[in-house]
Every structure is written in C-alpha cells, then in structure tokens.
Amino acid sequence: MGYSTPEPMIFHPKAILIMNDVEINQKNYLSIIQSNRFTEDWTKDIMLFLKDFLNDSSQLELKTSGTTGIPKSNWIAKAKMVYSARLTGSYFVLKSGDLALLTLSSSYIAAKMMIVRALTLGLTLHIVKPSSNPLLETNLPKKIDFAPFVPLQMAKMIDNELSLSRLKKIKKIIVGGGNLNYHLSEKIKQLPNKVYETFGMTETLSHVAVRRINDPQNNSLLFNALPGISFETDNRNCLVIDAPEILAEKLVTNDVIELSSPKSFEWKGRIDNMINSGGIKISPESIEKQLESFINSSFIVGAVPDNQLGEKVVLIIEDLPNNLHLCKLFEKMNEILPKYHVPKAIYAVLELKRNSNGKILRKEILDELDEKSSKYQEIRYLY
C-alpha cells in the first residue's frame, strides 16, 4: 500500500515524535519509516504502527488485549481515532507545542492513541522504552505537560526519590490499564499535579470517562463522561456506552456499575468475575475494596470449585503474611464482611501473574489454583 502526503488532521505540521534521539516530523517521517534504522523490538513496533496509521487506507486493524475476554480484531476508521484524540485534547486542554511522554507498550490502545494525539494535536511526544520506572531514564525533558501511565508504573515511580521528584513536575497525568488499589490511591492524593484515572477499552479507542484522583475538593469515585458520550445500564446493571462519533452502535460491556447520571457512574466490578457461592452472588471486586486498606501486599479475591457450595470464595495474596498479620486479617474479615463473603481459604504466592502493563491476570491465577499448582501455598483453611 502506498503513501500520500498526509492531511493536516492526520499529521499536524508541528507534531514531533522523538525516539532514541531521532526526531520524526511531517517532512521526514516517510524516509525514516523506510530506512529501517530502528532495530529494537519496541521501536520497530512503534514504526510499524506509524506505517499503518499514515498509509493511504482509511481504516486500521486493532486487536483487543484479551485481558477481559477473548482477543479479537476490529477494523477501525482512522477518522474515529482522530476524533477521539481531539476529544482528549479538548478535555485536558492540550495544545500544539505541548510536551508529552509515552512510556507504554505499543501493543495496547493507550500507546497507539497517545501517538495519534501527538500527530493530530501537534504535540512533541518523547517516546521511551516501556519499563516499570520510566522516569529513571536520563534523557527526559524537564518540562512535561501530559503523560499516561499504568498503576504499576505509578507505584514504582512514587516509591523512588528521583522518579518521584520528576513525576511531580508533570502537569497532567492519566492512569489506566488496571485498577488502582487503596494504598496507591492514597499516595497519588499527595501529589501536587493533576492525576486522573481513566476508563476505556480498545473498542472505545482508549478512555471515554475520567475521574480526578487527587482533587482536594472532591473525593468522588465517579467516572465522568467525555463530551458527546453518555451511559446507561442493561438488565444486569452492566455499563452500556453510547459514543456515536466513535462507535457504530451502543457498546454493551460486562462492567457492573452504579449509574449516577447519564454522564457519570461508579465502577463496581466485572460480571464475568462474579462468584456464585451456595446460590449467593458475590462480587470479588467489592470484597477487595473492603480489604485493601489493611492488606499491604497485592492480592485478589476469587473462587474455586467446591462440592458443597458450588464455588467457594478464596483470597490469594502476594508474599507470605506473618502469623500476627494473619490473625488480624481473619479477625477483620469476619468483622466487616457478610458471613458468606468471607474467604474460605487463603493462599500465598511469591508473585501474582501479571501482563506486560502490570495488570493482575485474575483468570489465569485462578485457573492455576484450580489445577493445584505447587507455587500456591495454602496457609489457612477456614472451614
């Protein structure tokens, strides 16, 4: 497929991408794409996306991550990606010449859309190799206006003195690709800049709703719709997204929500994670929310088959808690959780399985647990 001079809406004349000290702009992008000068896998992936996005096709193939379902491919109109980029630019007041940072894997929609935002809005985008603490890179600009991160990166950057000082200087930060736990949210609330949690997926071309995490005037858990987007629920209380400029039809999700208005909602969990224990429907995410303030390690709540209950609730915790902590944990769980919501077994593992963005792979962990993997140590059986 050939190349034509891109329209200004596709490649803004002031847009600059900087990767491995190489500047890519509207005038030289074609020669750089054809030069094969980038040899590392992560840089080759970026160049492949640029090649596909800037060719003369009106559509682009996007693959869902598969973290919440079966991976699939969709052909998306590039004009919709440009529209989404402009929507984000308007919401966060991004303008030509602003400096942005990309540290995410280009395998995910968040990274792809960050590149599209730079090309569309005329941003200067510094692209660095994805890592758990990207702010330890030595050649970063001192002034950064906008950057997306995943929760794992935020946790690592906040816990390092050098990266924390750099993190505080980024004007606006968006965090997505995984759920924020209580401890990380509390640390983010101490940051002086503006930090937002996002809600979205590949099908919606990144985020369709955001909430400010560290707003001193408002501790709301509500996600608020971007302009032109509205929400409703189906008969399962699952989110239905109406984004006519992005989606051909309303998108029915498996995200259980509490709808506050057509423009805002509180996320409760995934219906496909729902546990049926003795006929009682239990949301593991709701249990996690109640436990996370006094469990310092990463953990998940899930279910394994049980002869009596059908499914029994279990707690899988990263690292081995000491006996004193366990006693307090048992006591607290029985104090705050309904009887049938209390985990019937607790397992410890050295490290919970995660994807490249640091998101815990709940289904794979539970599948391994069901197969009696030796790496999961049962530390207490509660009934």
- Evaluate whether 16-219 and 274-381 have a shared fold: no
pLDDT tens per residue, range 296-321: 889 999 998 888 999 999 999 987 66
Q: Give the per-residue pLDDT at 322.
A: 65
What value does the mean pLDDT take over residues 224-253? 97
Answer yes or no: is pLDDT of 98 > 60.
yes
pLDDT on residue 260: 97
Q: What angle do CA 118, 120, 126 make, to 5 degrees?
A: 10
pTM as predicted: 0.90
DSSP one-letter code for 243: -
Higher pLDDT, 1 or 268: 268
Which residues in 174-208 are b (16+ Cβ under 10 Å) and which e?
A: bbbbbbbbebbbeebeebeebbbbbbbbbbbbbbb
- Tokens linked to 356: 């490249």
- CA quadruple 100, 106, 108, 111: dihedral, nearest 10: 10
Distance CA 189, CA 171 (A): 14
pLDDT of residue 8: 40
List, for residues 102-130, the tens digit of each pLDDT value. Answer: 999 999 999 999 999 999 999 999 999 99
What does the domain layout of the chain look like in residue ranges?
16-219, 229-272, 274-381
What value does the mean pLDDT take over residues 353-374?
A: 83
Report the 10 Å Cβ neighbour count for 227: 9
How high is the pLDDT of residue 376? 72
In CATH, the architecture of 16-219 is 3-Layer(aba) Sandwich (3.40)
Cβ atoms of residues 308 and 348 within 8 Å: no
Going by pLDDT thresholds of 50, 70 and 90, the confidence category of residue 149 is very high
- CA dihedral 190→362→199→186, nearest 10 degrees, is -10
| CATH code for residues 274-381 | 3.30.300.30
pLDDT digits (tens, 9 = 90+) for 66-88: 544 566 788 899 999 999 999 99
Average pLDDT over residues 134-151: 92
Phi, psi of 69 (to 5 degrees): 170, -170
Residues 169-204 have pLDDT tens digits of 999 999 999 889 999 999 999 999 999 999 999 999
pLDDT band at 167 (very low <50, low <70, confident <90, very high): very high
Provide mean pLDDT across the span 21-28: 95
Q: What is the rounded average pLDDT for all residues in the chain?
A: 90
**pLDDT tier at 380, thresholds 50, 70, 90:** low
Residue type, 60: L
For residue 256, is pLDDT > 70?
yes
> Is it the case that residue 383 has pLDDT exceeding 70?
no
